[in-house]
């Protein structure tokens, strides 16, 4: 019915009023620049968006707006507006503006048409502006998430690559390799599944134990301890540790006998961390292994460092006893329980802690780094172990390995020729270490899981190797870094 009110607004017959309502609804503000009079008219809607005063003010050949554009966008914005009006009689440009009233930065998108006079000269510019700050924040957040996802995926791929190489190096047959490798890969997948269930906020130790030991025969495993939630890094470490222990127990320990069983207990420590004890009982008589395999190395070095503590193995005749300790850095805030209880995902197979043997490598000619002394700075200890082994095979001598900024800083004064730097160490950029090395004149390279192309992080003059990488890429980059000096 004519004149009936709808939603608080009566029917509108005036075209100008309709246009004004449409502008209000769309969240844009309008302006007009009278080029001949050099006056800029700012609507109240535009004033609310930009912080410029409403009404007519001196345009100053565009400086009334240009003076408030963020310095990093100023030149490009002026050029885009000038070229657009000159070539097409219109422009559309996005830029950051510093509001003159409260100094807040806002992202704006401006669109305008130029109106020429009878002589063809530009007479007026009429346009609108829109605040796109929220859209820009969403884009930035999405880009950051994509970069982080890219980083995580590449680190996972690099970890799988390292597991494969380490497993191959310490086994003597294809069958043994497949059992060892796939068992460890399953452990990584189990940790990922547990973390996904809590949206990567942390996993309780009891859930890790259930996933690793719940698939054993009834009565063969018992686990007990207080509710302690581990962060993602520690979750991966403990999952892999329990897999190595259970795999060893199946082949050589308590689970090799029907009467054998395992007891896993953990408790909080006064330092704010936890202590986990693995005890095997009623199995075959145990003796220390004749050779040291990757399983032992993983338990003692990887688990110990990733948990911020230590791991020890005691080969007692009555059964293996392993003690894993962690400091407070391994713990996370209490996370909600998964929607469904963790299913036993691991079927212990192969990968004994005393597995040995080796595997030769084929491939392209290795860069000459014989005798080169190397410092490795890598927070993913599996990658560090593989890199250390690979560089040693290439003839280099690894002086030391560090897993965080503080540890690397303490090693700066060691005697080495070149360093491998993980660009991101537990969420902290490796820049302080790189800066210290550059000050000393020691060359280095970056290894990174982030996909940003181009120059080295923070503008350093150093080779960059993207993850996942192989040892020959690292060796070639080290040789390049040395040659630059």
Contacts of 412 (CB under 8 A, 6+ apart): 433, 436, 437, 440
Strands 203-204 and 229-230: antiparallel
* pLDDT value at residue 316: 92
> Where does residue 325 rank: exposed (0-12), middle (13-18), buried (19+ CB within 10 A)?
buried
How far is Cα 256 from Cα 8, in angstroms, rounded to an integer?
80
User: Domain 27-131 maps to which CATH number in 3.40.50.800, 3.30.450.20, 3.30.420.40, 3.40.50.300?
Assistant: 3.30.450.20
Distance CA(394)–CA(390), nearest Å, equals 6
Per-residue model confidence (pLDDT) at position 13: 53
Q: How far apart are CA 345 and CA 191, in angstroms?
A: 9
Q: Which one, of 91, 97, 94, 95, lies nearest residue 127 by Cα?
A: 91
Tell me how long the chain is: 485
Q: What is the pLDDT of residue 182?
A: 74
Q: Report the CATH superfamily, name and number, of domain 373-484.
A: Response regulator (3.40.50.2300)
Where do you find CATH 3.30.565.10 in the chain? Answer: 171-330
* SS3 (DSSP) at 117: coil
Q: Cis bond leading into 468, ω under 30°?
A: yes
Q: Indicate the Cα dihedral angle 267, 268, 273, 279, nearest 10°.
A: -10
- What's the CA gap between 305 and 234, in Å, rounded? 10
CATH fold of 171-330 reads: Heat Shock Protein 90 (3.30.565)
The predicted structure's pLDDT at residue 373 = 97
Local confidence pLDDT in tens for the 485 residues of the chain:
333 333 344 444 565 555 555 556 567 899 999 999 999 999 999 999 999 999 999 999 888 889 999 999 999 999 999 999 999 999 999 999 999 999 999 999 999 999 988 888 899 999 999 999 999 998 888 887 777 667 666 767 666 777 677 667 667 777 777 777 777 777 777 787 888 788 888 899 999 999 888 877 667 899 999 999 999 889 989 998 998 898 889 888 998 888 899 999 999 999 899 999 999 999 999 888 877 666 777 787 777 778 888 888 999 999 999 999 999 989 986 544 544 444 443 333 333 333 333 333 333 456 889 999 999 999 887 788 889 988 998 999 999 999 899 999 999 999 999 999 998 888 788 999 999 999 999 999 998 866 554 445 667 889 998 876 778 889 999 999 999 88
Phi, psi of 6 (to 5 degrees): -135, 115
From residue 471, give the alpha-carbon distance in Å to each of 19, 97, 165, 417, 448: 66, 48, 11, 18, 14
pLDDT given at position 386 = 84
User: If DSSP codes are grouped into helix, strand and coil, which group holds residue 414?
Assistant: coil
Q: What is the pLDDT of residue 12?
A: 44
């Amino acid at each position: 019915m004519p004149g009936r009110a709808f939603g608080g607004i009566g029917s509108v017959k005036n075209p100008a009023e309709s246009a004004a309502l449409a502008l209000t609804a769309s969240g844009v503000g309008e302006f007009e620049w009278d080029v001949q009079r050099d006056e800029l008219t700012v609507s109240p809607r535009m004033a609310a968006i930009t912080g410029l005063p409403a009404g007519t003010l001196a345009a100053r050949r565009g400086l009334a707006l240009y003076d408030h554009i963020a310095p990093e966008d100023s030149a490009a914005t002026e050029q885009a507006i000038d070229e657009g009006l000159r070539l097409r009689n219109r422009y559309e440009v996005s830029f950051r503006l510093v509001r003159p009233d409260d100094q807040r930065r806002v992202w704006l998108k401006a669109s305008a048409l130029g109106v020429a006079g009878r002589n063809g000269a530009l007479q007026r510019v009429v346009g609108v502006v829109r605040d796109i700050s929220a859209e820009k924040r969403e884009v930035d957040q999405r880009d950051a998430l994509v970069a982080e996802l890219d980083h995580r995926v590449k680190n996972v791929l690099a970890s799988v690559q390292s597991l494969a190489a380490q497993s191959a190096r310490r086994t003597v047959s294809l069958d043994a390799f497949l059992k060892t490798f796939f068992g460890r890969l399953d452990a990584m997948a189990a940790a990922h599944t547990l973390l996904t269930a809590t949206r990567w906020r942390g996993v309780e130790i009891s859930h890790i134990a259930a996933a690793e030991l719940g698939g054993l025969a009834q009565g063969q495993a018992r686990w007990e301890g207080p509710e302690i939630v581990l962060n993602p890094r520690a979750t991966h470490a403990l999952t892999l540790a329990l897999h190595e222990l259970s795999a060893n127990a199946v082949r050589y320990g308590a689970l090799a006998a029907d009467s054998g069983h395992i007891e896993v207990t953990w408790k909080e420590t006064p330092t704010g961390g936890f202590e986990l004890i693995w005890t095997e009982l009623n199995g075959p008589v145990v003796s220390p292994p004749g050779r040291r395999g990757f399983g032992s190395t993983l338990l003692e070095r990887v688990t110990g460092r990733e948990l911020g503590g230590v791991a020890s193995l005691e080969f007692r005749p009555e059964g293996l006893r392993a003690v894993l300790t962690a400091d407070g850095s391994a713990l996370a805030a209490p996370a909600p329980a998964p929607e469904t209880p963790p299913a036993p995902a691991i079927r212990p197979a192969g990968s004994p802690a005393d597995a040995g043997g080796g595997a030769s490598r084929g491939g392209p000619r290795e860069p000459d780094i014989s005798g080169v002394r190397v410092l490795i700075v890598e927070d993913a200890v599996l990658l560090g172990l593989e890199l250390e082994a690979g560089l040693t095979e290439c003839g280099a001598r690894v002086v030391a390995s560090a897993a965080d900024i503080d540890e690397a800083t303490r090693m700066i004064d060691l005697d080495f020729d070149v360093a491998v730097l993980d660009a991101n160490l537990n969420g902290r950029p490796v820049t302080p270490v790189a800066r210290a090395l550059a000050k000393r004149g020691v060359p280095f390279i970056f290894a990174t899981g982030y996909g940003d192309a181009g120059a080295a992080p923070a503008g350093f003059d150093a080779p960059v190797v993207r993850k996942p990488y192989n040892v020959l890429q690292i060796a070639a980059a080290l040789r390049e870094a040395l040659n630059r000096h």
